[in-house]
A and B are shown apart, each in its own frame.
Chain A
């Protein structure tokens, strides 16, 4: 079984500063994918960034980067130059090939609420 742990219920950051949202995961699979989603107060889930377990370089997408440390089983999201519009709930999620079946469901963490102050 897969498990995602996000230990920060809430984080605060000043506008234009960088912030790191923590995510640790647990799986017995060698091949897996890690995702970050953003959920604003309006409720829609917005895909931000993806990291594959065999990717040698950390993923980056604009202001988002993923600090992937495989040995520590962590996949922290770094948001640079925070903007007021970044205030939202952020979820870390995993897709893994459990038991040899296809990569289907995403397993989500409990989320971190990020508040960006002006």
Chain B
């Protein structure tokens, strides 16, 4: 078990460019989550998948954001036409759905995005 991995760890881009982040969850986990964390704040939920199905999206996820999880394994989060307000740490987490309230999520190291 190698844990949740995210690539790249850091991304610097110019405003208006598109960026894509990748998350590889713990292999037996069927759920995958994306969160965004700005400096000094707690993570904010963006979206989550159960297997390949995207079950919930936050209002924070504007039309410029899209996430996929083909084949229920890794996931990608794409931001189109980046804005300076998109600068944040993007965290991925995974969990094994128990069907109940216990939902321990294992987090990756995050991708820090800086939009110039």
Contact = CB atoms under 8 A, between A and B. Distances in A.
Interface residues of A, number: 31
B22 interface: no
A84 interface: no
A96 to B, nearest CB: 8
B43 A33 contact: no
A47 B93 CA distance: 11
How many chain B residues sit at the interface, stated as a range, is: 20 to 34
Interface string B86-103: 000101010001011111
A104 B43 contact: no
B48 A103 contact: no
B33 to A, nearest CB: 7
B101 A108 contact: no
A60 interface: no
A106 B104 CA distance: 9
Contacts of A107: 45
